[in-house]
Structure 1
Amino acid sequence: MSDHHSEDVKVLHSMGYAQELSRRMGGFSNFAISFSIICILAGGITSFPLAMGTGGAFEATIGWIVGGLFALIVSASLGQIASAYPTAGGLYHWSSILGGRGWGWATAWINLLGLIFVVASVNVGVWQLFRDLVVNGVFHVDVTSWTVLSTDPLPTGMTADQVAANNSHAIWVQIIAVSLITIVQALINHFGIKLTTLLTDFSGYLILVVAVILTATFLIWGASWDFSRIFAFVNNTGDAGGGYVPSPRTAIIAFLVGLLYPLYTITGFDASAHTSEETRDARRAVPRGMIHSVFWSLVFGFVMAVSFVLASPDLAATAKDGGSAWFNLFNNLPAPTVLKDILAIGIVVANFICALAGLTSTSRMIFAFARDGGLPGSSVWKVVSPTWRTPVAAIWLGAVLSVAATLYSPAFAALAAGCALFLYVSYAMPIAAGLLAEGKSWTEFGPFRLGVWSKPFAVIVLLGTLILMYAGIQPPFDILINYAIGLIVLLIVLWFGIEARRFKGPPIGAEIAKRQAEIAAAEIAVGEKV
C-alpha cells in the first residue's frame, strides 16, 4: 500500500468512513472528470444562443469571462474545504460539519437536484447534437419529424395540427433516445471506476483537441477579424433574440440572464470532490482538479466563443436565429466537409462523456448521502458492489431520476438553467457555513488554504449566487419557480416533520470511534486490504 493511499485511508477513517470505493484515480483523472462535466463543447455550444439572445456578442465573450471568474472563485473556495474533508458527497458532508446536520441535509437535496439536471440537460443536448450534427449533418437524413418545430410562425406548408402532431412525436423520440443514452452511461459506470476513468481521461484530451480545431476552423473559414464585435453589447431580449427571452427586458436583466451561458457550462466541477474517495492524495489532488478544470475551461471556452462571434456574418441575424444560432453558423462554414464531419462526431462524443461523468458524480452523491441514512431506502442505495467496487444501485437510481427530469421539462433551456441555479446554490451553502465557522468551530484545514482571501471570496460567492438566483427565475426559465418553491416547501415539511428527529448526519466525535469495527468489516466485505 502506497504512502499516499495509507494517508488517504487514514483521513477517511478519521471521518468515520470505510474505504469501500476503489481508489484508482490520480491527479489528472480527478481533473479530467470535472473537466469532462464542464465540457466547453457541451454548454459552450448548446447555450451559445442564450448569450446571443440576451446581450449579443458582448455576452458571449466578456460575459463568459465574468461568469468564468466567478466560477473560479467558487472552485477555490470549495477546494479549501475539500482539502480539509476529502469525502464522497463532499458538499453535503462539508455543510453538515460546518453548518449543522440540517444545513447539510438541505445541501444534499439541492446538490442532488442540480446533479440530476446536469445529466438530464446534457443528455438532451447529446441527442439534439447527434440528431442535427451527425444524423442530419453527416448522413443527410431529414430529421424534421424528430425536431420540435416553431409554432410562431408556423413552418411553411404546415398547419397548426400538423405541427402539434410532429412536435408530440419529436418529444417521444427524444424521451426514448435520452433513455437509451442514459442506460449506456449507467452500464459504463456500473462496471467499475477504471472504465469510467479511461473514458474521462480520454475526454480531457478530446475536449482540448476538438476545441482547438473547432476554433481554428471558425477563424480560418469564417472570421471577419473585426475584434470590435467582442465589445458590442446589444439588448436582444424579445424578438431581436429569436424570442429566447420572450419579452423585452432591461439591459441589466439581459446581461444577468445571459450569464447562465458561462455558468451552465462551467459547472459540475464538484465531481472532483464527489470522487475524493477514489482519488490518491485527495487532499491535494481534489482542490487542484476543481480549480484547474475551471481555469482551463475559462481560457479555452473564451477563445472558442470569440471565434464564433468573429465568424458570424451578421450578429443581428445570428441572434435572431434563436436556438439554431450555432448550428447555422457551423453548417454554413465553407470548411472541408470531412473536417466538419469529424468535428461533429468529436463534439457528440465529448458531450456523451460529459453526461457520463455527471452520472458518476450524481451516483457518488447518492451513495454518500445514503451512507449516513439521508435517503429513503438508504440501505439499498449505499451498497457497494464487491465485484466492481461501485455503488451500483445509486448509479441506476441517478439514471432513472435524470430521465424523469426530462419528462417534466423536455426543454433544454429550462433544464440547463435549473442545473446552473441549483448547483451554484448548493456550492454556496458549505461556503456560507465555512464563512461563519472559520476560526471558530472550523479549525482543521488541509494543505490547500486561501489564507486572507478565504472570507472575501466567500462573500463574493454568496453575493454572486443571489444574483444568479434572480437571473435563473426570469422568463423563459420561470418554470424553475415551481421547482424551487416545491423543493423549499418539501424540505421544510420533511425536516421539521420527520428528519430533524431521525437524521443523525455524518459521524462526529465519539460516533467515529464507535464505527471502527464497522469500518473494518465493510472494507473486508469489498476486498479492501486492511
Structure 2
Amino acid sequence: MNQPIDEDVKTLHSMGYAQELARRMSGFANFAISFSIICILAGGITSFPQALSTGFGFQVFVGWIVGGCFALVVALCLGQIGSAYPTAGGLYHWSSIFGGRGWGWATAWFNLIGLLFVVASVNVGVWYLFRDLVLAGVFHVDVGSLTVDPAQDGNAHAIRVQIAAVSLITLVQALTNHFGIRLTTMLTNFSGYLIFVVAIVLTATFLIWGATWDFSRLVTFANMTGEAGGGLIAQPRSAFVAFLIGLLYPLYTITGFDASAHTAEETHNARVAVPRGILHSVFWSVLFGLVMAASFVLASPDLAAMAKEGGSAWFNLFNTLPAPTWLKNVLAIAIVVANFICALAGLTSTSRMIFAFARDGGLPGSRIWRRVSARWRTPVAAIWLGAGCSVAATLYSPAFSALAAGCALFIYVSYAMPIAAGFFAEGKRWTQFGPFRLGIWSKPLAVLSCMGVGVLIYAGIQPPSDVLIDYICGIVLFLTLLWFGVERRRFKGPPIGAEITRRAHAIEAAEEAVGQAAATDAHTPSMINPK
C-alpha cells in the first residue's frame, strides 16, 4: 500500500496542501460514502409522493429515467475534474483554478449551503420514517399529534418535537464523525451493502404482495397538480411545468455524490478512486432506484387515490401492504438505519468542505474551522459547525419539501459552476488531467449539464418550494455584497502557480506537526492548526 499512498501525497503536495487528514479509505469506501448519501431508500421513498402528485406513474418511472440520465452526465463531468484535482475542497478548488478565486468562493458557498440542506432534509426524513414506519407501523403508536401540518392546531407542538428529534439524530452523527474516519467508513461501507439488500427485498415485497402488474401505469401521465393530487403541489400548473417539478424526485435523491471528491484526501489512489466512486454511486442508484420506484407504482391498489393522499402516500401504502408483519418490521427498521447513515455521510462531506474552505481562509473564523484533531485526524471543529448549521436550516423551514428542493437546487448549481468554468478553461488554464478523461465528449456534456441545471433552478422555485425564492435572493445579495465589500480584497483562494512552491516549507511543517502530535499525545484529543 505504500506506493499508492506516496503517489497520493505527492499529488496533494503538487496542489499546495499537506496530508493532514488520515488516508484510510479504500476505493470501495470512497464509492460507499457517495452511495450512502444518495441512498435511494431516503429520497427514493420520502420524495415519492411529490413525483406521484405531479405527473402520476409516468413521472415516477419516466421522470426517474430522465433525471437519472442527467445525473450521470453531471457525474461524468465531475469525475473528469476530480481525477485531475483530488482535493477535499472539490468543487470549490476546481472552480477557483478554472474560473478565478471569486467564482471559486461563490461555488464554495453554494456547495456548502446545499450540503447543509442535504443533512437537514435527510434528518427530517429520518424522523418522518421513524415516526411513520417504526412508531406507527411497528409499535402502532398514534402519531397524529406529531405530524407537521399547518392546518392542525397542534402543528407548533409537532414542529418542536421534530426539531428536538432532528437535533438528537444530528448529535449522534456528529459524535460518530468526531471519532475518526475509520468509524464513519465502517458504517458507510455497511450502508453500501445494506442499501443494495434492502432495496432488492423492498422491491420484491411490493411486487409479491401488492403488484397489479398493470405496466401501463408506468407510462401514463396525468397532471396531478392542484386538488387532483391532494394539494401537495397546491397551485395547478401546466403539464410541462408539472413534469419539471416532478424531476426533483430523482434529482433530490441522486445528489451528494461529490462526497467522493470531498474525501479524496482520505482515499488511496484518489485520482482513480474518486471518479470511479462518483460514477458507480450514481449508476447503481439510478438502476436500482428505477426498479424500486416502479414497484411502488405497480403495488398501489388505486394509484389516483394514492396520489391524493399527499405526503403520507408511500407510508400508507407500505403499512397496508399484506406482507408478513415481521418482514415489514425488519424493512422499516433497516430503512431508518440506512437514512441515518445517509445523513451521517452527508455530515462527513459537509465537514470536509468546511475544512477545505477554511484551510484557504474562506470562512469567518477560519483558524478555528480548519483545525484537525491530532488524535482522531478529523476536522472536528468543522464537523460540529456543520451539525449546528444543519439543525438551524430546519428552523428556517421545517417542511421537508422546501428542504429537499433547496438541497437539489443548491447542490446542482454548485456542480454546474466548476463544469461551466472548466468548459472555458479546458486546453487553456486547464491543462492537467487525470487518468479519467472524456475526450471529445467533455465540452458537449458540460453544455448539457449547465443547461439541465438551468431547468432545475426553474423547477426548484415552483410552488410549494417558492418559499426558496426569497431565501435564494437574500443569499445571492448577501454574498455579492460580502464579496465586493470585503472578500475580494481579503480572500486569496487556493494556492496556484508560484504560491504552491512557496508553501513547501509550510507543508512539511504541517505534516511534521501531525506526526508529532499523534505520537506524543495519543490519549488526548489535542488540536493542530498549522499556519
TM-score (norm 1): 0.97
State the secondary structure of the residue aligned to 1:399: helix
- Name the aligned partner's letter for residue 515 of structure 2: G
CA distance in 1, matches of 2:429, 2:29: 33
Matched with 2:77 is: 77
Equivalent residue runs for 1:339-358 within 5 Å: 339-358=327-346
Equivalents in 2 of 1:525, 1:474: separation in Å?
51
Match of 1:250 in 2: 238
Residue 256 of structure 2 contacts residue 411 of structure 2 at CA under 8 Å; is this kept in 1? yes
Q: Distance in 2 between matches of 1:492 and 1:125?
A: 32
1:419 shift after superposition: 0.1
Q: Distance in 1 between matches of 2:168 and 2:150?
A: 26
Residues 1:287 and 2:286 aligned together: no
Aligned residues: 518
Q: Which of the numbers 500, 503, 506 marks the counterpart of 1:518? A: 506
- How far residue 89 of structure 1 moved from its aligned partner, in angstroms, is 1.6
C-alpha contact (below 8 Å) 1:309/1:315 kept by paired residues? yes
Amino acid at match of 1:116: L
Aligned-partner Cα distance in 2 for 1:503–1:56: 48
Tell me which amino acid in the other structure corresponds to 1:364. Answer: R
* Kept after mapping to 2: 8 A contact 1:219/1:310: yes
Output one character per residue of 1:429-451: Cα deviation in whole Å (capped at 9) or x when no partner: 00000000001111110000001
- 8 Å CA contact 2:97–2:429 kept in 1: the answer is no
Is contact 1:200–1:353 with CA below 8 Å preserved after alignment?
Answer: yes
1:84-103 CA deviation, whole Å, 9 max, x = no partner? 00000200000000110000
Q: CA deviation at 1:141?
A: 1.5
Q: State TM-score, norm by structure 2.
A: 0.97
Q: Which amino acid aligns with 1:331?
A: N
> Corresponding residue for 1:275?
263
Distance 2:478 2:24 in 1: 38
2:386 pairs with 1:398: yes
Contact 2:263/2:349, CA 8 A, preserved across alignment:
yes
Does the CA-based 8 Å contact 1:18-1:523 persist in structure 2? yes
Shift of 1:147: 1.3
CA distance in structure 2 between the aligned counterparts of 1:372 and 1:100, rounded to whole angstroms: 14
Deviations 1:99-146 (A, max 9, x none): 100000000000000000000000000011001111111111122221
Q: 1:420 aligns with which of 380, 405, 408?
A: 408
**Aligned pairs (5 A) from 1:20-31:** 20-31=20-31
Amino acid at match of 2:297: V
Aligned equivalents of 1:142, 1:521: Cα separation in 2: 59
Deviation of 1:73 after TM superposition, in Å, equals: 0.5
Residue in 1 that maps onto 2:454: 466
Segment of structure 1 superposing worse, 69-78 or 505-514: 505-514
The 5-angstrom pairing of residues 73-222 of structure 1 reads: 73-149=73-149, 151=151, 163-164=152-153, 166-222=154-210
Match of 1:44 in 2: 44
Counterpart residue type for residue 137 of structure 2: G
Distance of 2:513 and 2:156 partners within structure 1: 49
CA contact (8 A) 1:373 1:503 kept: yes
Deviation at 1:149, TM superposition (A): 3.7
Residue 237 of structure 1 contacts residue 248 of structure 1 at CA under 8 Å; is this kept in 2?
Answer: yes
Identity %: 75
Whether 1:232 aligns to 2:220 is yes
Whichever residue aligns with residue 147 of structure 2, its letter is T
Q: Deviations 1:68-96 (Å, cap 9, x if unpaired)?
A: 00000001100000000000020000000
SS of the aligned residue for 2:138 comes to coil
What is the CA–CA distance in structure 2 between the aligned matches of 1:491 and 1:384, rounded to whole Å? 27
Bigger drift between 239-248 and 453-462 goes to 239-248
Deviation per CA, 1:138-163: give whole Å up to 9, x if none. 11112222112462xxxxxxxxxxx3
Within 1, Cα distance between the matches of 2:312 and 2:485?
A: 47
Distance 1:169 1:372, change over 3 A: same
User: Do the aligned residues in 2 keep the contact of 1:31 with 1:288 (CA within 8 Å)?
Assistant: yes
For 2:143 and 2:308, how far apart are their aligned partners in 1?
Answer: 22
The equivalent of 1:155 in structure 2 is: none
Check conservation: 2:101, 2:493, Cα contact below 8 A: yes
Q: RMSD of aligned C-alpha atoms?
A: 1.1
Aligned to 1:446: 434
User: SS state of the match for residue 179, structure 1?
Assistant: helix
Query: How far apart in 1 are the matches of 2:235 and 2:462?
Result: 11
SS at match of 1:54: helix
State the distance in 2 between where 1:201 and 1:417 align.
28
Matched with 1:299 is 287
1:33 aligns with 2:33: yes
CA distance in 1, matches of 2:355, 2:471: 23
- One-letter code aligned to 1:296: W
CA contact (8 A) 1:275 1:364 kept: yes
State the partner residue of 1:158.
Answer: none
Match of 1:157 in 2: none
Aligned residue for 2:524? none
Instruction: Give structure 2 stretches of 5+ with no counterpart.
Output: 519-531
* 1:47 counterpart letter in structure 2: S
- How far apart, CA to CA, are the structure 2 residues paired with 1:483 and 1:461? 24
Letter in 2 for 1:145: S
- The residue type equivalent to 2:182 in the other structure is K
State the distance in 2 between where 1:131 and 1:327 align.
10
**Whole-Å Cα distance in 2 between the matches of residues 150 and 108 of structure 1?**
34
Quick check: 1:387–1:526 contact (8 Å CA) kept in 2?
no
- Amino acid aligned to 1:468: L
Q: Which amino acid aligns with 2:385?
A: L
After TM superposition, give the deviation of residue 483 of structure 1 in Å. Answer: 1.6
Distance in 1 (alpha carbons) for counterparts of 2:49 and 2:144: 20
Deviation per CA, 1:241-273: give whole Å up to 9, x if none. 111111111000000000000000000000000
User: Secondary structure at 2:64's aligned position in 1?
Assistant: helix
Task: Sort the Cα spacing of 1:150 and 1:318 in 2 relative to 1 into closer, same or farther, 3 A.
Answer: farther
Alignment match, 1:154: none
State the shift of 1:486 in Å. 0.7
Kept in 2: contact 1:31–1:272 (CA 8 A): yes
Q: Deviations over 1:192-212 (max 9, x none)?
A: 000000000000000000000
Distance 1:293 1:411 in 2: 28
How far apart, CA to CA, are the structure 1 residues paired with 2:228 and 2:308?
Answer: 6
Contact 1:55–1:234 under 8 Å retained in 2: yes
Measure, in 2, the Cα distance between the counterparts of 1:218 and 1:190. Answer: 38
Aligned residue number for residue 528 of structure 2: none
Distance 2:38 2:149 in 1: 29
Deviations 1:472-528 (A, max 9, x none): 000110011012101110111011111110000001111111111111111122228
| Number of the residue aligned with 1:488 | 476
Q: Distance in 1 between matches of 2:511 and 2:478?
A: 36
